[in-house]
Amino acid sequence: MLQDILVTGLVNGGVYALLAIGFSLIFGVARIVNIAHTAFYMLAAYCFYTLLTKTNLGFVLSGLIAVGAVTLFSVLCYRLVIEPVREHEAAVLIATIALALIFQELMLFSFGGHFLGIPSTLEGSVRLLGVSIPYQRLLILAVAAAMLAIVWYLLYRTRLGLAIRATANDLEVANLMGMNVHRVAMATVAISVSLAAVAGVVVAPVFVVDPFMWLAPLVTMLAIVVLGGLGSLKGSLIGALIIGYVEAITVFAVPAGAYLKGAVALLIMVIVLLARPEGLFGVAFEEER
């Protein structure tokens, strides 16, 4: 049982980390609570599905096109919908909710409420510590690790990363230092959504694709991000693993209570917040004025 918990928790944690880090990034840099984040993940899954089943592009090309298209689309959405109301925090919030609803309804309209399945990128499975793990899951783990490495490199080894971190640290000073904070925000949106899109492409073959698939991971992702500390990438990564393991332990320890895994994860989040209101790795509140 221990092996099962170790492996399952790690794989699920990897998926969550992909989603949570992107969300955390855009919050840290632009203070946008992007409710539509997982809706982009859904769009990528649908896009990948369509390309894969309607064309002969193959997995890699379909995946790349899906990620690219969704990322471009997100930048477009940001320019058209979010940027004009950036001044108004509340308006940004419901703009992202409205965007998510629009995506959901568009998919419902064009694909119906059917549950769609995407063929696995890699067939077959491997036995590890006596647990059978499909290759697809290992792929997810590998992609998650690779993406995290890329993001780390981007943030800490490039000029753009420096700009993003500076903006996250203090928007006004970054602006005064002559940085184009709008462009930095846009780049962050693109990075953040591309992470969600990658998640959509690699994870979708494991789950089912349907117009409401963005809601459940949204809640889990928010729990992780709050748990780890908003805007903290390290926090998101560790939060994702914590929630992944908490869910796995719930399922294995109380099989008849498997449905409670979501509620237990949220409960953990609430408990952590009570003890540490800024999350595990969040920056303690500076009184923002």
Partner 1 sequence: MLRMLIVGLAACATALGAQAQTIKIAILGPMSFVQGENHWAGAEMARDEINQAGGVSVGGKRMQIELIRADTNEMTSVPDATNAVERVITRDKADFLIGGFRSEAVLAMQEVAMDYKKIFLGAGAAHSKLGANVEANYERYKYWFRYTPTKDVDLARTLFAVMGSIGQQIRTELKTDTPKVALLAEKAVWTEGLIAAAQKNLPAMKMEVVGLWQPSATATDVTAELSAIDRAGAQIVFTMLSGPVGISVGRQMGERNMKAVAWGINVEGQKDEFWKAAAGKAQFVSTLDTYAEVEMTPKTIPFVQAFKKRYNKAPTYNAATYDAIMFLKANIEQVGSLDADKLVAAMEKAEHVGTGSIVTFDKRHDLVWAVGKTAGIAVQWQDGQKVPFWPPSVKGMKPFKLPAR
Partner 2 sequence: MHTGMTYPLRRAWAELKNEVLVLPSRTLVFLWVVALLALPAVYGDAYVMRILTMTCIFAIFAASWDLLAGYTGQVNFGHALFFGAGAYASALLSLKLGLSPWLTIWAGAAVAMFFGFVVGYLCLRLRGSYLSLATLAFPLIALGLLFAFPDFSGGELGISGLRRLALTPTANYYLAVLSMLAIVFGLWLLADSKFGIVLHAIRDDEVAARASGINTLRYKMVVFAISGAAAGFSGALFAHYLRVAGPSTLEVALSFQVVIWGIFGGAATIYGPVAAVFILYPLTEWLGSFRAFGELRLLIFAIIVLLVLLFMPRGLTPWVRDKIETPCPRCKQRNGSWRSACRLCGVTLQPEVPGAQRLVGHQ
**Residue 153 binds partner 1, judged by CB under 8 A:** no
The 10 Å CB-count burial string (b at 16+, else e) for 177-194 is eebebeebbbbbbbbbbb
**Residue 95 binds partner 2, judged by CB under 8 A:** yes
Closest C-alpha among 195, 276, 281, 184 to residue 239: 281
Min dist. Cβ of residue 211 to partner 1 (A):
8
Nearer to partner 2, 99 or 143 (CB): 99
Of 91, 93, 102, 134, the one binding partner 1 (CB under 8 A) is: 134
Place of tokens 């696995």: 120
CA angle 207, 76, 172 (to 5 degrees): 105
Distance in angstroms (rounded) separating the CA atoms of residues 202 and 179: 35
Min dist. Cβ of residue 202 to partner 1 (A):
14
Distance in angstroms (rounded) separating the CA atoms of residues 213 and 285: 34
Of 72, 89, 162, 208, the one binding partner 2 (CB under 8 A) is: 89
Min dist. Cβ of residue 271 to partner 1 (A):
21
**Residue 285 binds partner 2, judged by CB under 8 A:** yes
119 binds, among partner 2, partner 1, none (CB under 5 to 8 A by kind): partner 1
Does residue 186 contact residue 72 with C-beta atoms inside 8 Å? no
**What tokens were used for 125?**
């499975």
Distance in angstroms (rounded) separating the CA atoms of residues 189 and 197: 12
Residues 216-275 that bind partner 2 (CB under 8 A): 218-219, 222-223, 225-226, 230, 257, 259-260, 262-264, 266-267, 269-270, 273-274
Which DSSP string corresponds to 123-188? --EEEETTEEEEHHHHHHHHHHHHHHHHHHHHHHHSHHHHHHHHHHH-HHHHHHTT--HHHHHHHH
Of 262, 273, 278, 283, the one binding partner 1 (CB under 8 A) is: 262
Stretch touching partner 1 by CB under 8 A, among 27-35, 115-123, 177-185, 191-199: 115-123
**Residue 114 binds partner 1, judged by CB under 8 A:** yes
User: In the complex, which residues of this chain contact partner 1 (CB under 8 A)?
Assistant: 1, 4, 8, 11-12, 108-109, 112-120, 125, 131-132, 134, 136-137, 205-208, 210, 213, 216, 247-248, 251-252, 255-259, 261-262
